[in-house]
Amino acid sequence: MHADDEQQRAADEATFREANERIREVQAELELSRQLVPFLCECDDTSCHEPILLGAEEYERVRSDGTCFVIVAGHSTLGEIVEEAAGHAIVRKTGLGGLVAAERDPREEGRWPTSRRAESG
Ligand SMILES: [Zn+2]
């Protein structure tokens, strides 16, 4: 694996994560918190737009770690699978990919003050 390639893949996946943040905002605005919402698969195939149905709480749990991504079960991505559920998996980026993912963590912009407050204790 070439380092540039790993960085590029992580950056591509961060773009999908940013799209999912928009979906999450709409979900919050519409107060759909008890319903399952179709987030986008964040695997390393940029042509993949498969939906993953997640509740607000589960999505927030993934997003609370800036190096974690959610993918359709069996899709390809770099990193270690930290959790497998029905139909999807949660993957933690390691190495260079993890650095890129953490750098581009959309939650670092403070748009979700409640989740940040919980982390800082
Ligand atoms: Zn995918």
Q: How far does residue 87's CA lie from ligand 1's centre (Å)?
A: 11
Domain ranges of the chain: 3-105
* Ligand 1 geometric centre to CA of 93 (Å): 15
Cα(26) to centroid of ligand 1, in Å?
22
Tell me the three state secondary structure of residue 104. coil
- Cα–ligand 1 centroid distance for 11 (angstroms): 15
The proportion of the chain whose per-residue pLDDT surpasses 70, expressed as a percent, equals: 87
- Residue 65: pLDDT above 90? yes
Higher pLDDT, residue 56 or 41? 41
Q: Which residue has the higher pLDDT, 53 or 4?
A: 53
Q: What is the pLDDT of residue 114?
A: 47
Q: Which pLDDT value is given to residue 117?
A: 45
Q: Is the pTM of this model over 0.75?
A: no
Q: How far apart are CA 94 and CA 107, in angstroms?
A: 19
